[in-house]
Amino acid sequence: MAHAAPTPGRRPTVRVTVTPDIFSERTHTIARFGIPVVLGLIYGYWAAANRRGGGEITGWNILFGFVTAIAFMVLCIAVAVLAPKLKRELHSLTKSAFAGAAFGFLYSQTGASVLRSVTMSLLVTAAIFAVFFYRYYTHEDAVGNPLPR
């Protein structure tokens, strides 16, 4: 049976499908800042609950929760804005360091020792770094541009 010989200079066409974006730009903008605010409020409540350890809610505990929530929101927005501008290694490291530090702070509020909090935080950071690095490594070309979907 005869087969067609490949012709030089001609490459097979690759079909690229793009996922449709069902949300408007306004919805994306609201989500870009709304999600860190909601996560910050949850984080602040969680930190305050860890700190009081099931005891009564006091004014200082509420203040601690709100200050923690505001700090988390500001840092989360800063990471979300600045990290995508970095190379994939630093991008992954920035996001995983934020997540690890956030986890370590919550863990330290439970009364655990500093050594245990740092160890747990580093383990969480390493695991999240591996996941983020793999994701960015497989979704970008060698220069760092996103691959077409």
pLDDT by residue (tens digit) across 58-95? 899 999 999 999 999 999 999 999 988 888 889 889 99
124 has a pLDDT exceeding 80: yes
91/149 same-domain check: yes
100/71 same-domain check: no
Helix axes 59-82, 25-52, angle to 10 degrees: 140
Report the pLDDT averaged over residues 130-147: 77
- Asked whether residue 62 is assigned to any structural domain, the reply reads yes
78/102 same-domain check: no
Report the pLDDT averaged over residues 110-129: 94
Q: How many domains does the chain have?
A: 2
**Structural domain ending residue among the three candidates 35, 69, 85:** 85
Q: What distances in angstroms separate CA 122 from CA 58, 64, 104, 117, 130, one per listed residue? A: 32, 25, 8, 9, 12
Report the pLDDT value the prediction gives residue 74, as an integer from 0 to 100. Answer: 96
The whole model's pTM is what?
0.76
127/140 same-domain check: yes
99/43 same-domain check: no
Domain that holds residue 49: 26-85
- Asked whether residue 3 is assigned to any structural domain, the reply reads no
- Asked whether residue 14 is assigned to any structural domain, the reply reads no
Report the pLDDT value the prediction gives residue 20, as an integer from 0 to 100. Answer: 76
- Asked whether residue 118 is assigned to any structural domain, the reply reads yes
68/105 same-domain check: no
With a pLDDT cut of 90, the percent of the chain lying above it is 50
